[in-house]
Amino acid sequence: MVGSGEPAESHSPHEWDAFQRWTGNDLVREVYYFRSGDDRLYASAYASPRPRLSTGLVMCPSWGSEMAHLQDLCHDVARGLASAGGAGLVYHPPAHGDSTGDPAGLTLERLAQAAKDAARDAGGRLPQHRWQLCGIRLGASVAMVAAEELSCELVVLIEPALDPAAYFEEVRRAGRRGALGHGTEEAVFGFPLPASTVASASEVDVGGAVRRFPGRVLVVRAARRDPPSMPASAETITVPRAWRPRPSARQRAPFVEAVISALAGPVEAAR
């Protein structure tokens, strides 16, 4: 891989680091890196300067191109929750975004480990909040697996893909269609999808994690004619909108409002 040299471990304080925090618009924000295994993962935290809500949500993003296309939804939920008095954290998984990591070594377990590390790090930085997980698409599977070990009380799942093997099959099919002859089997929408990643999807028991989870599972999903079955124990909110793979701000808003309303009351009250 060209340019595969990755950033060094840590560095002495630098003039740029004075700009890692920002306060305004009734928000406190911080951007930073945290350690997860051998990788440095990027994180962006949102919090209220006057916490009124104990809930903090770590946003577990999806995989590959979906991570990028749904990143703004992660930011919207994190910012919305912070505006309502809570906190939110968006991180880039290994081998994604601004984080380091080798795509060839990416497994569901590795993704779940990163989510756990993100939550533990957030708990150290913003201990006034009780950190829970929120997963989008494949991130929902990641969140469910990670939540078991973290002893979370709440998991929020947005348009969840709770069968990782089926998810990778679906994105591979979509990638073939989207490439229109320009793509290759090695990558899906420009992202490498090694066989080891696909194989790891069958090795995690997401269904079992959902069944065993003792806390509240909140599912927020789009309206559709034949909705996939969700765990009976889950509380489901159906948003009367179609799911868009690259949602605009207007298309994201009802999903964000559904999450914030369920956790903090009507969104209007938070503004």
Partner 1 sequence: MSDHPVLLPTPDGPVGANVTEPEGHRRGAAVILEGIGGRRFGVNRLWSRTAWALSDLGLVVLRIDYPGSGDSAGVRRGRRTEEVVLEAVRWFRDRTRELDLQLVGACYGANLAARVAREEPRLSRLILVTPHLRKIPSRTVGVRVRRLMGGALPRTPRPALDRRVCGAIAAAARKAGTVAIAGELDGSLGDMIRLRAMVHRSGGELSIDLVPKTDLHGHRTLHAQRETVTRIVAEAGRGLEEAGGGQGEQRDPPVHRTGTPG
Q: Residues in the site for partner 1, rule: CB under 8 A?
A: 1-8, 10-11, 14-17, 19-22, 24-25, 27, 29, 31-33, 40, 42, 44, 65, 68, 71-72, 75-76, 79, 92, 95-98, 103, 179, 182-184, 186-187, 189-192, 249
**Which CB, 15 or 268, lies closer to partner 1?**
15
Name the minimum Å distance from CB 250 to partner 1: 11
CA 103, CA 101: separation in Å to the nearest integer? 6
- In contact, 193 and 187? CB cutoff 8 Å: yes
- Collect all residues with Cβ–Cβ distance below 8 Å to 90 and sequence separation of at least 6: 43, 44, 45, 46, 59, 61, 71, 74, 75, 78
| 29 versus 216: smaller Cβ distance to partner 1 | 29
Min dist CB 44 to partner 1, Å, is 5
Nearer to partner 1 by Cβ, of 4 and 151: the residue is: 4
Pick the closer one to partner 1 by CB: 118 or 217.
118
For the CB of residue 118, give the shortest distance to partner 1 in the complex, in Å. 15
Cα(134)–Cα(219) distance, rounded to whole angstroms?
10
**Minimum CB separation from partner 1 for residue 66, in Å?**
12
Question: What is the Cα–Cα distance from 33 to 51, expressed in whole angstroms?
Answer: 24
Q: Name the pairing type of β-strands 216-222 and 154-158.
A: parallel
User: 4-12: long-range contacts (C-beta < 8 A, 24 or more apart)?
Assistant: 6/40, 6/100, 7/40, 7/100, 9/40
Nearest-approach distance from CB 58 to partner 1, in angstroms:
16
Quick one: 27 or 230, whose CB is closer to partner 1? Answer: 27
**Looking at beta carbons only, is 3 or 124 nearer to partner 1?**
3
Query: What residues contact 115, with CB distance under 8 A and at least 6 apart?
Result: 58, 60, 91, 93, 133, 135, 142, 143, 146
If the CB atoms of residues 51 and 97 are measured against partner 1, the closer one turns out to be 97
* 52: nearest Cα among 16, 13, 83, 85: 85
Q: Least distance from C-beta 152 to partner 1, angstroms?
A: 25
Please report how close the Cβ of residue 6 comes to partner 1 at its closest, in angstroms. Answer: 6
